Structure 1
């Protein structure tokens, strides 16, 4: 049974290299300390319309954007309720793809899985084969862009091109740990719904979920007999069109932080931010191959989270603790059944190659490499 543990505030600062939350700029944190105001005031309209339109500009999309007080998990549930009448095909190659399928199971949908071993990427030709060979007409196909449990980056662009050939099927992408740090042309590849959490590559505090919604997805929800109340596309987008606000009370301080961080992201630019993340990923993989190995299938490695195969058999938990104690840095063990077989480094948000090198030096010190 859990016992109460008082939060004292007396803790050493640790630099975060986990798959999220990640490091947040000081001025972004400071933005949350502005005086409170009402969520139905004109000031809220100014704030919310700014972050929505800035998000569209940064991502380079003409599709609609929803920003809600929630984690990205909200849009697993909402997209399923909004778009799936009966049949959904979930591609799974790790924990988070499987969780999406379990959400649909729990919501009473007819779930088919296109499943791969952990570490292996989803293949567009397999998606095509399933869609062509099945008698089932799927309402939705799902895929995780960045499977952070295994460090796999799935080829969602090519998968989206396949799904786009089926005009009655929507393509839903979980980009929770990738969007903002890994460039994707949303509109060009038939991605109907793509969502993320702000505490990952957006490098903001936790508490907001960002979702991009196509016109086809919006229209499909209109034809449905049921939809999510909180994350319904019609409800959220129509309210934005009428009022320029959220339909329910939002976490205003975090939206103020979002506004500040989006200034930095727009200044850097989507493509430049993508380049910086790619350089961090390449450095981390080179380091991993020198001392260990990389876990994901070659050619499908994540741009935001490195999953490193523990070929030396180091004590991962002990190494994490030593790095934390000696260097005030935190990285992550592997996920689930591969907790000791792998470890993970989050190279996302505001990190640079230089800051990632500081961590790998610390790991070398702690593990005696």
Structure 2
């Protein structure tokens, strides 16, 4: 059992190159330091309607958007409870996609897995075959867009396109570690629920989860006998339509930060933000291939997180500690016991650019004597 370790508030400032949380602008953190106000005041309506409508504009979607005080994990539960009556197909290719399947099972759903080795990507033709060969009509297909544990970016667009042939099967996408840094046309590719967390590519403080919800997803839940209470689509969206607020008490300071950062994101534009993230990803992969190797399957590499295969056999933990101590840069080891020393991960998301990523890779080269 851990003992109390007093928070002393005198820690050295570190630059974060993690798969989240990531760097946050000073004016965004400053936005949180405003006098408190009530979450049923007109000021809250101004704040919440601003962030919801700005998010829809940034994402280029007419779908409803929910911004909920929670981590993205909440929408694993909520989307399953809201949209899955009995049967769900989940494609698993790493720790977080496997966790999506585990959550659905914990909630009492019948889950069929379409399983891949870690590092491999989900193939649309396999999804179609699973749908065709099953004697079930799945309520939903669940897929992680960006598998944070392995650095795989799954072909969500192609999977969504084929699901147009299965109108009774809704499409649930976990985009927690990429939305806002990897462009996707939500309506064009038949995505019924796509969600993220603010501390990733949105480059905001942790504490809020965002979900875009299609009309079909809303109607599915509205016609079901049970759904999530806290993350229920109907409950959240109807309250917003009536009041312009959240149905439960929100984390107001983080929403103030959200408002400020979303204005920055709108100024940059979704396509320009996508291009900047693509350039960071390309640089990081080139560097990794020069000095190590890239872990994910070729052609399916993430645009926001590079998982580097430790082909040189460096001491990953010691290198992370040394880079943190000498340069005040923090990056991540591989995820879990299987990949902890076999890989390491560089988060190139949010407000980073190629020059800031190069500062990290130069530090790694120095410390690891590459």
Is structure 2 residue 249 aligned with structure 1 residue 237? Answer: no
Q: Secondary structure of the residue that 1:362 maps to in structure 2?
A: helix
Equivalence map 1:311-326=2 (5 Å): 311-326=311-326
Q: Which residue of 1 aligns with 2:269?
A: 269
In 1, the alpha carbon distance for the partners of 2:257 and 2:151 equals 28
- Count of paired positions: 369
1:18-29 matches, within 5 Å, as 18-29=18-29
Q: Distance in 2 between matches of 1:190 and 1:296?
A: 26
Return the alpha-carbon distance in structure 1 between the equivalents of residues 131 and 111 of structure 2.
14
**2:102 aligns to what SS in structure 1?**
helix
In structure 1, what is the Cα distance between the partners aligned to 2:164 and 2:226? 24
Q: How many angstroms apart in 2 are the aligned matches of 1:183 and 1:81?
A: 27
Give the structure 2 partner of residue 61 of structure 1: 61
Query: Aligned partners of 1:358, 1:99: CA distance in 2, in Å?
Result: 34
**Taking structure 1 as the reference length, what is the TM-score of the superposition?**
1.00
Partner Cα distance (2:128, 2:340) in 1? 33
Rounded to whole Å, the distance in 2 between the matches of 1:85 and 1:223 is 11
> Which residues in structure 2 correspond to 1:70-149 (within 5 Å)?
70-149=70-149
Structure 1 residue 222: Cα displacement: 1.1
Cα displacement (A) at 1:165: 1.2
Gaps of 5+ in 2: none
1:198 aligns with 2:193: no
Structure 1 gap ranges (5+)? none
- Deviation string 1:89-113 (CA, Å, 9 cap, x unpaired) is 0100000000000000100100100
User: Residue deviations 1:42-78, cap 9 Å, x none?
Assistant: 0000000000000000000010000000000000000
Counting only pairs closer than 5 Å after superposition, residues 214-233 of structure 1 correspond to structure 2 as 214-233=214-233
**Residue deviations 1:168-196, cap 9 Å, x none?**
11000000000000000001000000000
Match for residue 342 of structure 1?
343
Q: Deviations over 1:140-183 (max 9, x none)?
A: 10000000100000000000111121111100000000000000
Match of residue 52 from structure 1: 52
Corresponding residue of 1:367: 368
Q: Distance in 2 between matches of 1:292 and 1:166?
A: 42
Q: Aligned to 2:204, what secondary structure does the other structure show?
A: coil
SS at match of 1:242: helix
Aligned equivalents of 2:255, 2:358: Cα separation in 1 = 32
SS at match of 1:143: strand
Give the match's secondary structure for 2:248: coil
User: What is the match of residue 355 of structure 2?
Assistant: 354
Q: Secondary structure at the match of 1:90?
A: strand
Displaced runs of 4 or more, over 6 A: none
SS of the aligned residue for 2:114 comes to strand
